[in-house]
Each structure stands twice: as C-alpha cells, then as structure tokens.
C-alpha cells in the first residue's frame, strides 16, 4: 500500500496536518508531489538501490521525499538535524547518497554541509532559499506527473552509532515487490495489533528523522489514515492537538510523559482527550511510577513495544498486561525471543543474558561493516540477531530488560554513545583521562556525565568544567554534551588499560 491508492479513492482526505499551523497535504497532493519528485530523481540518473539523503525539520515535504524514494526502489536516509556539520557530512558521504534534499529551516547547517558532500550531486532546498541548492518547488513544477509502468518498493536507510562511536548505517534488504503490493510488515502489525485503519488520526510529536516517527507516520499513510505531526514537542501543545484534531492514536517516549505529568493539574484537565484510544510508547525504559501515573490519567490506553532500528524483532505489552507485570516490555509479536549466555547457550526463564530475536532471515546489514553485521548474529544460529541488550524472560514468556547496549546512554529516548564523546574530550589539553556514562535523571531517564582526570598542571574546578563543556559543544551535537563534569585523581582501569566504567556507574547510581 502507498498514498496513490488512497489518492484514487479519497483524494481530499488529509494525509498529513501540521499540529501548530494546520497546514498539510491531502492524499492527492502527497501522491502527485511524490510522483513528480520520483520522476525528477529518475531523470537525474538515480535508480533502484540509490540513496537520497534528507536533512529536514518536521515539515510536510519530508513525506513527499520519503514516498518519492519508496515508490522508486531507492533508500531514504533521514539525517539527525541536531548533528554538527561534520557529523552530517559523514553520514551523507558514508551512505553513498546521490542526492541531498534539505529544509531551509536548517539552511545554515545545510550550507555548511554542502561543500563536504561531493557525491550528492542533486541538491534541492524546500521552504526557502539555501545557497548551493536548487529550488525544490521549481524542480517539482517542471517534472513529469506521469505514473511509470514499474514502481519498485524502496526502504529507509537510517543511522545509529556503532561501538567505535562512528555512526553505522542500518541497510535493510529491499522488498521484492511493487510499492502498491501488500507485504509491509509494520503496516500489518499496526492494523492487527493497534487497530490502525483509514479513520486513524495519529499524533507524532517526535523529530521525523527518528526511525519510529518516520516509519509509523508512513505506515499510517500507507493505510490511509491522517498523520498529525507536531513541529516540535510541547507538553500542553500535545494535549491541545489531541483535542483539536480528534487524535485516536499517538506515540511517545517516556520523557514526554514526565513533562506532561509535570503540568499543573488544571492544565492537564483542561483538554478533552476522549477521542484518544491508544498511546504507543517505546525508545527507552519507562519508569514504573511514571507509566502507572499515565495509566491513571489516560486510562488503560498505553501500549509499549520493544524493537530496534535494525528491525530484528518486536515485543508488545498492553496496559492490563503491564499492570500485572510492571516493568515488562511484553511478549514477542515479530520474531521469537531467545536469551543467551556469553557462549550463546540459551538460558532458562529468570536468568539474565543477551536478548536475541529469531527470524526467517536477518533483515538488514550494517553498511560497510561486515564485522559488525556478523557480531550481531548468534554464533550457532545465523538467523538470530541482537543489538546487544540484556534481559530475561519470565515463565510466561514476557521479556524484562535489565540493561541496554553496553553503557549506552538513553536520554529522552535518544541513544548517546559515550565513546564518541570520550574520543572528543580526550583531545583536550587539560584532560589526561576521561569517562562518559549515563547517570539517573528524573526527567530525561539518564543524563550524560563526564568524569575527568586532569592533566598535570590543570586545576580542577568550575572554570575547567566550563572550558570542557564549551569544547564539547563545538565538536558534537549539543544533546551529547555532558550535563556536568566531575574530577578524579585517577580513573579505574584494568592492567591492560581497559576502563572499568561499571564501577563509576555504580558509584553514581548509589549516590
């Protein structure tokens, strides 16, 4: 399924509405504009398997570009718009993108990236002018609106950081079907387990470059419902959007729950949420008391899932099940969960180990990193894959996660890899040694903490802390910058030089 199906039957139905401004796209507009862009890409020499990079804020054009790629057999690489120019350029170049499409709302970032991505020859900017980019609207107006005889289905190609701190592209296998043919696993899951249909009004409050907002919004459009996308998350604004647009389904990360719960009671009760039938959440562990408070407020409409950008499997738990098993992320609905020890042996219920999902095939590869792809597979079962999370199964087959990827920080639902930040900070002349890790944070789940061993002659204290934080802000995305810096005489390392970060995390967890 794709928007063209619904453009033929319900052309004036909204495919997307921006929550704040109310502007958006009908299915007729989404179909025609994505078709024109698809034809433009083909006329520029792009074909099946080629990559289009997208640097966008939450704008309607993001889905025109998404569907242009999906109906052309191409990959859509949505890039985190909060990254620094060098980080964006790395992803665009590493993905092998032949085209770069950008929002003028990110014009300064796009302009800084442009000179560093020589292979991305086709460059278009929407929403305004960006130096070095052609005008998106003018290009669409000149493109053909003729439907091609074949529209092979494409896919997204999204990036998550690897263990070395460098982002790694997660490249799924291209579907062997036309875009209008059935076979979209996520669409089938949303219909079967969440009840999504043509009457669904889906609120998406998160940045569109993340896997879940991008994929779920696109799935709603494939089904024929209406996406309501917030320009950016705002706690009261989200409640206002539910009332204003009659939202039936939504998706959140736990930090959003925290911020909504912190609203004054009068504000929380001001809005009519009676249309709201299901609130999906994922991306980070939800504190038990936060989730319990949300169920008390919204009723038993919360649905939690556990999955990954790699798409290796998925678990699901509804509110009633969660109240019986607080803290669980549910039972498998895609793939089969296996919990294994370090040697790969399957563990009995109740014992903690690495979480694997078994599928008929591994549905992805890490772009340009065969070793990492191999390391995600089980040593004896080639169709079992893991992203490195730890957990256990209870006797009823419900999964409980006990840790995330080794020392990965999840702050506000966003993954932050400490090694990347450490690699930057260790170059500071006043730093001899550094450890970066997550510490508990009431609102964000975890906050980034740095512990620094100063170089000889460097004076620890507030002035050096400010200098280190300013240094980090100039080199990595701001959400990766430590919230604070502590100083230590020495960091714990093994005789072979390996940082024993677990000791530091335990010390701060108990403090």
Contacts of 441 (CB under 8 A, 6+ apart): 411, 447, 483
Q: How far is CA 103 from CA 29, 51, 78, 292, 459, in A?
A: 19, 18, 12, 39, 44
Domain map of the chain by residue range?
A: 3-223, 409-509
Nearest to 353 by CA among 361, 345, 363: 345
The CA distance from 49 to 63, in Å, is 19
Neighbours of 511 (CB within 10 A): 7
The CA distance from 78 to 81, in Å, is 9
pLDDT of residue 329: 95
Q: Where is 167: in which H helix or E strand?
A: strand 167-172
pLDDT of residue 163: 36
Instruction: Print burial letters for 238-253: b (CB count within 10 Å at least 16), e (below 16).
Output: bbbbbeebebbbbbbb
| C-alpha Rg value of the chain to the nearest Å | 23
Read off the tokens for 114: 């442009």
Would the CA dihedral through 393, 289, 206, 106 be positive or negative? negative
Is residue 346 packed enough to be buried (19+ CB in 10 Å), middle (13-18) or exposed (0-12)? middle
pLDDT of residue 497: 45
The CA distance from 356 to 384, in Å, is 6
pLDDT of residue 254: 83
pLDDT of residue 406: 63
The CA distance from 365 to 361, in Å, is 11
Name the residue with tokens 């900017």.
125
pLDDT of residue 390: 82
pLDDT of residue 161: 54
Length of the chain measured in residues: 511
Neighbours of 371 (CB within 10 A): 8
Would the CA dihedral through 491, 415, 411, 317 be positive or negative? negative
The CA distance from 394 to 321, in Å, is 13
Strand residues in 23-74 grouped as ranges (E): 24-26, 51-55
Q: How far is CA 435 from CA 283, 388, 463, in A?
A: 24, 21, 19
Show the low-confidence residues of the chain (pLDDT under 70). Answer: 161-165, 403-406, 493-499, 510-511
Would the CA dihedral through 459, 463, 464, 465 be positive or negative? positive
Query: In 3-state terms, what secondary structure has residue 159?
Result: strand
Read off the tokens for 404: 């995330």
CATH class held by domain 3-223: alpha beta
CATH number given to 409-509: 3.30.300.30
The CA distance from 122 to 120, in Å, is 6
Name the residue with tokens 């929002």.
103
pLDDT of residue 510: 63
pLDDT, tens digit, for every residue of 356-404?
Answer: 999 988 889 999 889 989 999 999 999 999 998 888 999 999 999 875 6
Q: How far is CA 204 from CA 144, 283, 297, 419, 464, in A?
A: 32, 14, 20, 31, 40
Nearest to 231 by CA among 493, 24, 5: 24
pLDDT of residue 496: 39
Contacts of 44 (CB under 8 A, 6+ apart): 98, 99, 121, 122
Is residue 142 packed enough to be buried (19+ CB in 10 Å), middle (13-18) or exposed (0-12)? exposed
């Amino acid at each position: 399924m794709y928007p063209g199906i619904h453009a033929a039957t319900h052309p004036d139905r909204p495919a997307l509405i921006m929550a704040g401004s109310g502007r958006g796209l009908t299915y007729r507009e989404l179909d025609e504009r994505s078709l024109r862009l698809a034809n433009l890409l083909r006329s520029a020499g792009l074909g099946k398997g080629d990559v289009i990079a997208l640097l966008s804020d939450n704008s309607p054009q993001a889905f025109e570009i998404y569907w242009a790629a999906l109906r052309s057999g191409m990959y859509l690489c949505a890039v985190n718009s909060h990254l620094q120019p060098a980080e964006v350029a790395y992803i665009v170049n590493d993905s092998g993108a032949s085209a770069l499409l950008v929002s003028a709302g990110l014009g300064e970032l796009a302009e800084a990236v442009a000179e560093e991505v020589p292979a991305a020859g086709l460059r278009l900017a929407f929403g305004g002018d960006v130096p070095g980019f052609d005008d998106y609207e003018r290009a669409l107006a000149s493109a053909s609106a003729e439907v091609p005889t074949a529209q092979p289905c494409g896919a997204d190609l999204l990036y998550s950081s690897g263990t070395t701190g460098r982002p790694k592209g997660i490249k799924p296998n291209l579907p062997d079907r036309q875009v209008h043919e059935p076979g979209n696993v996520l669409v089938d899951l949303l219909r079967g387990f969440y009840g999504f249909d043509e009457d669904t009004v889906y609120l998406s409050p998160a940045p569109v470059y993340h896997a879940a907002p991008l994929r779920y919004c696109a799935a709603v459009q494939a089904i024929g419902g209406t996406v309501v996308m917030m320009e950016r998350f705002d706690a009261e604004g989200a409640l206002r959007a539910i009332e204003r647009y009659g939202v039936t389904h939504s998706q959140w990360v736990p930090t959003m729950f925290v911020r909504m719960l912190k609203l004054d009671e009068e504000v929380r009760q001001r809005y009519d949420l009676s249309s709201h039938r299901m609130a999906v959440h994922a991306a980070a562990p939800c504190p038990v008391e936060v989730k319990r408070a949300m169920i008390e407020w919204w009723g038993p409409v919360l649905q939690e899932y556990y999955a990954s950008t790699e798409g290796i499997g998925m678990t699901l738990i509804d509110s009633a099940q969660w109240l019986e098993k607080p803290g669980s992320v549910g039972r498998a609905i895609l793939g089969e969960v296996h919990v294994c020890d370090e040697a790969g042996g399957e563990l009995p219920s109740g014992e903690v180990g690495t979480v694997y999902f078994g599928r008929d095939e591994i549905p992805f590869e890490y772009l340009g990193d065969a070793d990492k792809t191999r390391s995600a597979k089980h040593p004896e079962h080639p169709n079992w894959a893991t992203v490195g999370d730890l957990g256990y199964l209870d006797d009823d087959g419900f999964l409980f996660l006990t840790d995330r990827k080794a020392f990965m920080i999840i702050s506000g639902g966003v993954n932050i890899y400490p090694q990347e930040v450490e690699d930057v900070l260790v170059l500071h002349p006043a730093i001899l040694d550094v450890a970066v890790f997550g510490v508990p944070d009431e609102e964000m789940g975890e906050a980034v903490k740095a512990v620094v061993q100063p170089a000889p002659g460097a004076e620890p204290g507030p002035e050096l802390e400010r200098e280190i934080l300013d240094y980090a802000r100039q080199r990595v995305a701001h959400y990766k910058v430590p919230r604070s810096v502590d100083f230590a005489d020495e960091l714990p390392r093994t005789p072979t030089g390996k940082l024993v970060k677990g000791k530091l995390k335990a010390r701060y967890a108990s403090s």
